[in-house]
Amino acid sequence: MNTKLIFILGGARSGKSAYALKLAESITGKRLYLATAEALDKEMAERIKKHKKERGNNWTTIEEPINVADVIQGNKKYDVILLDCLTLWISNLMHNCAIRNPQSAISKLVSACKKTKANIIVVSNEVGLGIVPDNPLAREFRDIAGIANQKIAAAADEVYFVAAGIGMRIK
């Protein structure tokens, strides 16, 4: 079986995660939802709970805010891994004092995605379509996210841009 790296990119609330879920569910096999979000407040805990319920029982969920490449590298069980989302993972990396070089973490993730025997679907926000952020941290985040998106897109077999819930294949 040929496996693919599929990249789904879009704006906030564009429908990219729903699009990725539908695509993942069209692939046969055991499915893993690799979530980078953390329930750091009540509102986020409710969002996570709602999303788990929407996915149903056909998914296993692993919540891993930092070491996503390790989860993918260690996979021996799942045929489809949906990583949601890359930009939240980057934010987690930037706020984790132990991570000094997000670029090496991004390269490790790309390598893990290309080497795994599973189909990988990566979801990310396109953060470069708006105005230039007004502070250095926000600009650094935008720059790192843009570079990560470029690296994943270059490595991907397929790339989709989602706007208003409609996915458009761009690669």
pLDDT (tens digit, 9 = 90+) per residue, 107-141?
A: 999 999 999 999 999 999 999 888 899 999 899 99
95 is catalytic: no
Closest by CA to 75, choosing from 116, 30, 108, 119, is 116
Asked whether the beta carbons of 100 and 144 are under 8 A apart, the reply is: no
Q: Residue 58 maps to which CATH number?
A: 3.40.50.300
Q: Phi and psi (nearest 5°) for 8?
A: -115, 120
What local confidence, expressed as pLDDT, does residue 40 receive?
Answer: 83
0.85 surpassed by pTM: yes
Helix ranges (H only) for the chain are: 16-25, 42-55, 68-73, 86-95, 102-115, 136-155
| Tally of CA atoms within 13 A in the half-sphere of 42 that contains its CB | 0
Range of the domain at 61: 5-169
Q: From first to last of the 171 residues of the chain, give the pLDDT tens digit.
A: 579 999 999 998 999 999 999 999 999 999 999 999 888 889 988 988 888 888 888 899 999 999 999 999 999 999 999 999 999 999 999 888 656 678 899 999 999 999 999 999 999 999 988 889 999 989 999 999 999 999 999 999 999 999 999 999 999
**How many separate domains does the chain show?**
1
Sequence letter at residue 117: K
Q: Could you say which of 51, 55, 114, 151 is catalytic? A: 51
Measure the CA–CA gap between 11 and 64, rounded to whole angstroms. 22
